Structure 1
Amino acid sequence: MGVRLKGDWRELNEALRKLGRGVPQKVKEAIAEGILARTHRRFEESRAPDGSPWPPLSPATLAKEVRPRDRLKRGGISAAAQRRISLRKPLVVTARLKNSISWKVVGSRIYVGTNLEYARIHQFGGYAGRGRKVYIPARPFLGLTEEDREEVKALLLEWMKEATR
């Protein structure tokens, strides 16, 4: 027992052949570009991929931001220095880490990351510095967000619709 369908299957066969070739390079590149853009945005928002805020900078780190000319004779620091320190965000002093993040498509895989050695300590946290005495909290910047997943889904659905037309 079975089902037998008769008719012209050329369109369906062609659509299945297109789908069978895999996701086109331009679609994978669009996915990578979107992930990269949202990764860069996390540096501006100081947020992890799951949406949680990054831990604030330690008082010791913020104290290093005070220059000798910021110190007032009567004690304390200038209003300009206070404003500068209040606006200081983690991981963006030079933007070297943010700007080092790139993407690469190899076959069916998409890689988004950085080759900077110090990126790992910021992503996962841990002890660093001479004698590993300084604790740096994790401030994850790499990873997929729900927005990433939704965009990937939308791009793949659009490609599938086009491939099956």
Structure 2
Amino acid sequence: MITIKIDSEQLQKELTALIQKAVDRRPLMKNIAGIMHNAVEENFAQEGRPKWVPLGQKTIIARQKKGYWPGQILQQTGRLAASITQYADNDQAVVGTNAVYAAIHQFGGKAGRGGKVNIPARPYLQLTDEDMEEILKAVKEYLKLE
């Protein structure tokens, strides 16, 4: 049997640093939460990635009467976009909102008195392939694998 023994102080330092980064992931998770938050902001700015279903004519007319149109699809007052928060700890990166009406816009469904209004899903808490690539790049950079 052939045995190779590596006695390298530099290698040991690098492995120790890698282990420490794997143990303390808070900086990485904070970075990932920031990337996800930016992605959500971009979803609002571009009105979906891919594009959201346009507003219905009745909604546009109602918004015009209130002075909110022309405008952006999910930004009548801007409260939903402004409610997006990010959180990170050692084990997770989270982006979300506590706005009561947020889920109906994310997933779609029936709303209004008697549930007579059909609101299409306009997923704003969504990551694109490019966003996922940016997260993967951040992980590789954090672990210095690139």
Q: Shorter-chain-normalised TM-score: which range?
A: 0.7 to 0.9
1:45 aligns with 2:43: no
SS for the counterpart of 2:144 is helix
Alignment correspondent of 1:141: 124
TM-score under structure 1 normalisation?
0.77
Distance in 1, matches of 2:8 and 2:113, equals: 69
SS for the counterpart of 1:141 is coil
Shift, 1:100, TM fit? 0.6
2:25–2:90 CA contact under 8 A, matched in 1: no
1:112 aligns with 2:111: no
Alignment correspondent of 2:35: 34
Shift, 1:147, TM fit? 1.7
Distance in 2, matches of 1:95 and 1:152, equals: 27
Structure 1 gaps, min length 5: 69-80
AA at the equivalent of 1:26: P
CA RMSD of aligned residues (A): 2.1
AA at the equivalent of 2:3: R
1:100–1:115 CA contact under 8 A, matched in 2: yes
Shift, 1:129, TM fit? 1.1
1:98 aligns with 2:89: no
AA at the equivalent of 2:111: A
Distance in 2, matches of 1:43 and 1:13, equals: 46
Shift, 1:144, TM fit? 2.0
Distance in 2, matches of 1:89 and 1:95, equals: 9
The structure-2 alpha-carbon separation of the partners of 1:107 and 1:7, relative to structure 1 and needing over 3 Å to count, comes to closer
Shift, 1:96, TM fit? 0.5
Shift, 1:114, TM fit? 0.5
1:28–1:110 CA contact under 8 A, matched in 2: yes
Shift, 1:152, TM fit? 1.3
The alignment covers a number of residue pairs equal to 143
Alignment correspondent of 1:20: 19
Shift, 1:35, TM fit? 1.4
Aligned-pair identity in percent equals 36
2:28–2:138 CA contact under 8 A, matched in 1: yes
The structure-2 alpha-carbon separation of the partners of 1:88 and 1:154, relative to structure 1 and needing over 3 Å to count, comes to same
Give deviations 1:71-112, integer Å, cap 9, x for gaps. Answer: xxxxxxxxxx8xx74x42211111111111111113211111
Distance in 2, matches of 1:14 and 1:129, equals: 62
Runs of at least 4 residues off by over 3 Å: none
Alignment correspondent of 1:89: 72
Structure having the higher Rg: 1
Give deviations 1:94-151, integer Å, cap 9, x for gaps. Answer: 1111111111113211111111111100000000111111100000000222122111
